[in-house]
Structure 1
Amino acid sequence: MDKIIISPSKYIQGEGALANIGEYVATYGMQPLVIADDFVMGLTKGTVEASFKEQLVEFDTFNGECSREEINRLIDKTDSVKADVIIGIGGGKTLDTAKAVAYYCKLPVVIVPTIASTDAPTSALAVIYTPEGEFSEYLLFPSNPNMVIMDTAIIAAAPVRLIVAGMGDALSTWFEARANMTSGKTTMAGGAPTRAAQALAKLCFETLMADGLKAKVAVENKVSTKAVENIIEANTYLSGIGFESSGLAAAHAIHNGLTKLEECHHLLHGEKVAFGTLTQLVLENAPLEEINQVIAFCKSIGLPTNLHDMGVKEIDRDKLLNVAEVSCAEGETIHNMPFPVTAQSVLSAILTAHQLGS
């Protein structure tokens, strides 16, 4: 199997980076269409317009759902204004929509996250929903975004829960990469992991351990520090390249199973992934020292370490067996683990992880 690593063509990060967007985007086009929701538009439009100076910039308000209908509406808008580059500013659904519009219009896309809650901004993937907000399909792109711009001042001003959830998502990266490397399964990049991708995945974990708590404290005070800069890079770039080019395993599959528990519907993606990571470590019988390190980290920044933390009041084994069965569905990434996994073994790991993290 060939080794493959994929990534955005350019990744830019810095305090006030949005103010330079006009200069950066000029590489790709001179008539951009900017897509953002109402709140983000109000937050960023003035900065974007000032950066492009006299250049013509079209803006369109994202309607809140990354659906086929919204994508088609924005494709029509792109054609009508003769845009030659798409810019998405905001959260995951806005960014996924921008990626999809650019893909269908065969245009470059620039991604500007305003939060660091997941590693999705760098990926060659969008999640498509129905207009009512139900999952519809994954849309895979032949390449990653042309550019990702992270303005750390904007991200540091977002609610602290979002960057903490991003750390929960990033926490799984190294452990899933390690499992995938051992099993030799194909990664989302379509091949075996490179040493570079593995190194980024490990650096992601090391950065979380070194700077996670410091970054949380800084963001609670709505300031950007060196630790915040490091964690934004870990949550977005290191984790993004790490998961896509090194592979997913049990942690994300268990996250998918947890979406079937109504009590967990209020949780963010990374909050569920954090418990999925702890469960994966139990599943593979990782050293207790490593498990305790993960538990201590999660507790220090406010990530859940047991089912009660996630809102599950009663431990119902039948419901948890359903979670385990969904986690083990055919095609799920849990089968990238370097040993056979059954629903019963996942249930056992969930219950043990819950007890260890309580």
Structure 2
Amino acid sequence: MKVTTGPAQYVRKAGLLSEAGLFIKKLGKTAVLIGGNTSREIVEGNLRKSLSAQGITLTHSFWYGDESSISHINSLVEKLSSLSYDVLIAAGGGKAIDTVKAAAYRVNKPLVAIPTIAATCAAATPISILYSDEGEFIEISRDSKAPELVLVDSNIILHSPVRYLIAGIGDTLAKWFETKCSIKKVEPNVMNQTAIAIAGQLYQTLLQKGKAAVTSSETQRLTSEFEDIVDAVILVSGSVSGYGGDDCRTAAAHAIYSGLTIFPEVHQTYHGEIVAFGILAQLCMEGVADEKLKSVIRYYQEVGLPYTLKQMGINKLTDDQWKQLGNMTVTIEDMANMPFEVTPDMVISAVSQADRIGNELLLGK
């Protein structure tokens, strides 16, 4: 059995960026920073100072390329092949970090992740989600590595747009709903049973502290609830798939997310927001009572997650688009984790039902 449970080390602290060099120096004396343009602007000045204080040189800084796509990974690998350096540093959100994780795997270099938002668990997993250059989902890639070190500066996360944290809550909610579904297909063992236990605790943490964390982000006031949710989204969420592996990673909610990415309208909606809607559709697919679905939606209303197609930019789908969605979604490997066979018609029915019930609550019915 081979398991990668997550990063070798995770550190979270307000103002941590000014101390980053203390942790990175054990990995080498020269570093390359890769990430989003905004993220590099946020971290590079203080990071460079902290590295320099420890005798580390930040030799280059690159934009990762907007999408975690094969072409952008190839481009980074080509750039890196002509450079001399000891360690890669990834800064940004999930797509930036996933891109650098894939590049680090190819060039076989140590990796430090500095997430600047708490929107996904990308910094704590050994997989990369790949998209086309246009943002359509392609695959889950195992040609990726978990970072040796994850550095989370609470102040940076606190001052990022609140919508990212809300999306992170949506993505993390899926750990419970998908894991309790996918685990029905596998033989119980200590690893996947640990994963489902962690997922259950995550769910309770989100219910109990999610709203307070969102309020902390809105008011930019650092609280224990905020830091708990940051840890839940970035680290603990990743450990569910770390311990459970493919047994406990994803199911219909993520498959529906991937299917919806074929529509350009949703590309302005964040990963976790679409996944949150995918949870509702998955519950419909499982045949849960409408009242149970409504209780989940009421939590979405508390924290600000979308629960209708219109809220994600999709005003109307033609019959052909509905068929395209159904046909695409069932080909996503996440869907194979459902404990029953899913057909395109089941996807169409579930998405339609979730949207209908969501719109009823949106209208106050």
- TM-score (normalised: structure 2): 0.86
Q: Identity of counterpart residues, as a percentage?
A: 34
Cα distance in 1, alignment partners of residues 230 and 212 from structure 2: 12
8 A contact 2:136–2:258 mirrored in 1: no
1:117 aligns with 2:116: no
In the alignment, residue 239 of structure 2 is paired with which amino acid? I
Aligned residue in 2 for 1:161: 163
Is the partner of 1:357 in helix, strand or coil? Answer: helix
Shift of 1:276: 0.6
Aligned residue in 2 for 1:237: 235
Q: State the Cα deviation string for residues 211-255 of structure 1 (Å, max 9, x = none).
A: 111111111122322111111112111222224532211101111
Aligned residue in 1 for 2:349: 348
Aligned residue in 1 for 2:24: 25
Is the partner of 1:64 in helix, strand or coil? Answer: coil
Moved more, 292-301 or 75-84: 75-84
Shift of 1:105: 2.1
Shift of 1:297: 0.9
Is the partner of 1:32 in helix, strand or coil? Answer: strand
In the alignment, residue 248 of structure 1 is paired with which amino acid? T
In the alignment, residue 235 of structure 1 is paired with which amino acid? V
8 A contact 2:28–2:86 mirrored in 1: yes
Is the partner of 1:236 in helix, strand or coil? Answer: helix
Moved more, 313-322 or 301-310: 313-322
Aligned residue in 2 for 1:219: 217
Aligned residue in 1 for 2:313: 311
In the alignment, residue 213 of structure 1 is paired with which amino acid? K
Aligned residue in 1 for 2:184: 182
In the alignment, residue 332 of structure 1 is paired with which amino acid? E
8 A contact 1:5–1:194 mirrored in 2: no
- CA, structure 1 residues 226+61, in 2 after alignment: closer, same or farther (shift >3 Å)? same
Gaps of 5+ in 2: 360-365
Aligned residue in 2 for 1:255: 257
Cα distance in 2, alignment partners of residues 310 and 147 from structure 1: 34
Shift of 1:275: 0.8
Aligned residue in 1 for 2:362: none
Where do 1:42-61 residues align within 5 Å?
A: 42-52=41-51, 53=53, 54-61=55-62
Would you say how many aligned residue pairs link Structure 1 and Structure 2? 352
Moved more, 25-34 or 73-82: 73-82
Cα distance in 2, alignment partners of residues 180 and 192 from structure 1: 16
Cα distance in 1, alignment partners of residues 44 and 340 from structure 2: 51
- CA, structure 1 residues 217+345, in 2 after alignment: closer, same or farther (shift >3 Å)? same
Shift of 1:125: 2.0
**Between Structure 1 and Structure 2, which shows a larger proportion of helix residues?**
2
Aligned residue in 1 for 2:152: 150
Aligned residue in 1 for 2:99: 97
Aligned residue in 2 for 1:293: 295
Shift of 1:318: 4.7
- CA, structure 1 residues 309+94, in 2 after alignment: closer, same or farther (shift >3 Å)? closer
Where do 1:4-83 residues align within 5 Å?
A: 4=3, 6-52=5-51, 53=53, 54-65=55-66, 66-68=68-70, 70-72=72-74, 74-75=76-77, 78=80, 80-83=82-85
Gaps of 5+ in 1: none
For 2:325, which of 320, 323, 326 is the aligned residue? 323
Is the partner of 2:339 in helix, strand or coil? Answer: coil
In the alignment, residue 8 of structure 1 is paired with which amino acid? P
1:200 aligns with 2:192: no
- TM-score (normalised: structure 1): 0.88
Aligned residue in 1 for 2:358: 357
In the alignment, residue 276 of structure 1 is paired with which amino acid? G
8 A contact 1:90–1:115 mirrored in 2: yes
8 A contact 2:183–2:192 mirrored in 1: no
- CA, structure 1 residues 87+171, in 2 after alignment: closer, same or farther (shift >3 Å)? same
Aligned CA RMSD, in angstroms, stands at 2.7
Q: State the Cα deviation string for residues 282-324 of structure 1 (Å, max 9, x = none).
A: 2112355542331111111221112232233336555334322
- CA, structure 1 residues 284+4, in 2 after alignment: closer, same or farther (shift >3 Å)? farther
In the alignment, residue 352 of structure 2 is paired with which amino acid? L
Is the partner of 1:57 in helix, strand or coil? Answer: strand
- CA, structure 1 residues 258+142, in 2 after alignment: closer, same or farther (shift >3 Å)? closer
Shift of 1:185: 7.9
8 A contact 1:3–1:194 mirrored in 2: no
Cα distance in 2, alignment partners of residues 129 and 344 from structure 1: 25
Cα distance in 2, alignment partners of residues 199 and 58 from structure 1: 43
Shift of 1:119: 1.9
Is the partner of 1:11 in helix, strand or coil? Answer: strand
Q: State the Cα deviation string for residues 30-51 of structure 1 (Å, max 9, x = none).
A: 2222223433233212211222
Cα distance in 2, alignment partners of residues 136 and 309 from structure 1: 24
